[in-house]
Chains A and B, each alone.
Chain A
């Protein structure tokens, strides 16, 4: 088949009906542009909200949970081994928050090829003292570099730098705490641990996550400082957080580590199950709106091609009489539709990008998200790929039916009718 000639004929037919063609193409452009803008915006929003969770929750967390011992003494007895034993009023056993043999576990985890990085942490409840007032809070001793790599805590530091925590005896406190205690960067804060140890730390930064409950109690310091004020040795670690390259594998990996290290583990999916559902629903909504827009544009193309066929009956008849087969005529009309789809779609991508960029600069300031200044947009090239693919798909389908009709036009009927 001579595609060059077929394309040439299709282009001439289009040029003869330029206005209608442009209207049809604008339909596609509009729907693709809206699709791109909508999906980019929705995904930007999803990423933002996911980030809030993800940046606080490791993919897998290893810790010691306070729980009853699984092996009760009665189970060890040979005599009652075959019986069903009921044990009442069991009390949970505190095995200590410290992870046993933490240095080795950290070393093993860092070697694991599935793991991006490991961040050990010491968490302890403390009292912040301001004059005679005591405010209860939590101090997190973190491995500064690893923590920032995995959870981007620097995004939530509104004053100071996270790297300043590397200095001895420094602390970053939550915005709620600093407001309550009238403390600013550079001031000294006094801390009392649950064991009664007293320490003075220098405030090197203020953090704000946007959730008041957390900002009112949270503080960060370095791992070494935390161990020192708690009076614990350098192998004292209460949590091991790790992120995986493949987040979806988290539940399986969590289970594996639980067995290997004999620790309690929790994975991202379990910790945030309700959140995942929200993201999925938002994605479905944005995709379905985009698809509906495209289907509407598809009907427009179908209409215009149908009209064009009635108008061009004579041309179709003579093309067939002079040696174009039904197949050739079909391809002429399919290429018409694909040209409209491609031109409309490409402009749609362009306008979609422009719309997204406009949304991206619209101010969006909310107290709960201090680091976000404008509406979030996700410029994922995948959306553009989906957009153009779908534009071509819909327009081809919309063109297919008129094209099949044109291929079946009987030239004798037209020519004899004159």
Chain B
């Protein structure tokens, strides 16, 4: 059981101080297993995005503990956390956040170049493979501003996958996409959990999307209610 857990929180609380002290997350205990496709749903302001950013290690201002892959990440330095994000977590946001200065291929390769596990040549090959599975291989040498919204989001997904992360986190990854692209993104995610046993954790407003996932976490007023 212990070994199958990839993500765990113990008594996770978070406060906002501006304009007044306000508890966004209240003593959250949760556990996500390898290969699960989890969606987090809830009304605006219930704290679901806040929870995701705590889990992503980007936000370190909280009480309680976060454990990723049986490793306590609470209290680690900025540098250690950056390495964990680089190696174990992939991100897909509502906005694509591609670097306008680099072409598609380089954008995908960038986190891999940072990890420096593979040579540049091998990395390029792997990036092309990922783009191929996303049906984007023809666009590899274009600049991001030459792509459509759906295409950009697919590039962002390829970038999230380049280091074979344990967990892929999404903050409204389909929020800016139409139904067709949204379905496409779901299919890609679903395939990842089934084929590569990667864990998906997605915050979404899209109920259709959420219904299709393995597990739905519903939040209200900073608590998990189901």
Asked if residues A323 and B58 are in contact (CB atoms below 8 Å), the reply is no
> Could you say which residues of chain B place their CB within 8 Å of the CB of A161?
none
Asked if residues B114 and A5 are in contact (CB atoms below 8 Å), the reply is yes
Asked if residues B79 and A415 are in contact (CB atoms below 8 Å), the reply is no
Docked CA distance A410–B163 (Å): 23
Chain B residue at smallest Cβ distance from A325: B82
Asked if residues A321 and B95 are in contact (CB atoms below 8 Å), the reply is no
Q: Is A130 at the interface (CB under 8 A from chain B)?
A: no
Chain A residue at smallest Cβ distance from B88: A323
> Could you say which residues of chain B place their CB within 8 Å of the CB of A88?
none
Asked if residues A323 and B83 are in contact (CB atoms below 8 Å), the reply is yes
Docked CA distance A418–B58 (Å): 16
Q: Is B101 at the interface (CB under 8 A from chain A)?
A: yes
Docked CA distance A7–B178 (Å): 38
Asked if residues A323 and B99 are in contact (CB atoms below 8 Å), the reply is no
1/0 contact string of A173-186 vs chain B (CB within 8 Å) = 00000000000000
Which residues 289-347 of A have a CB within 8 angstroms of B? 314-315, 317-328
Interface residues on A, range: 20 to 34
Which residues 403-418 of A have a CB within 8 angstroms of B? 410-412, 415-416, 418
Q: A327-B79, A415-B171, A416-B53 are in contact. Are A322 and B114 (CB under 8 A)?
A: yes
**Total A-B Cβ pairs within 8 A:** 79
Per a CB cutoff under 8 Å, which of B82, B94, B102, B171 touches A323? B82
Per a CB cutoff under 8 Å, which of B49, B91, B94, B115 touches A321? B91
Asked if residues A418 and B99 are in contact (CB atoms below 8 Å), the reply is no
Asked if residues B115 and A411 are in contact (CB atoms below 8 Å), the reply is no
> Could you say which residues of chain B place their CB within 8 Å of the CB of A412?
53, 58-59
> Could you say which residues of chain B place their CB within 8 Å of the CB of A320?
58, 82
> Could you say which residues of chain A place their CB within 8 Å of the CB of B110?
319, 322
Asked if residues A5 and B113 are in contact (CB atoms below 8 Å), the reply is yes
B interface vs A, CB < 8 Å?
Answer: 49, 53, 56, 58-59, 78-79, 81-83, 85-87, 91, 93-95, 97-102, 110-111, 113-116, 159, 163, 171
A interface vs B, CB < 8 Å?
Answer: 2, 5, 12-13, 15-16, 314-315, 317-328, 410-412, 415-416, 418
CB pairs A–B below 8 angstroms (15 shown): A2-B113, A5-B114, A16-B100, A314-B95, A318-B97, A321-B85, A323-B87, A323-B163, A325-B78, A327-B78, A410-B58, A415-B53, A415-B93, A415-B171, A416-B49
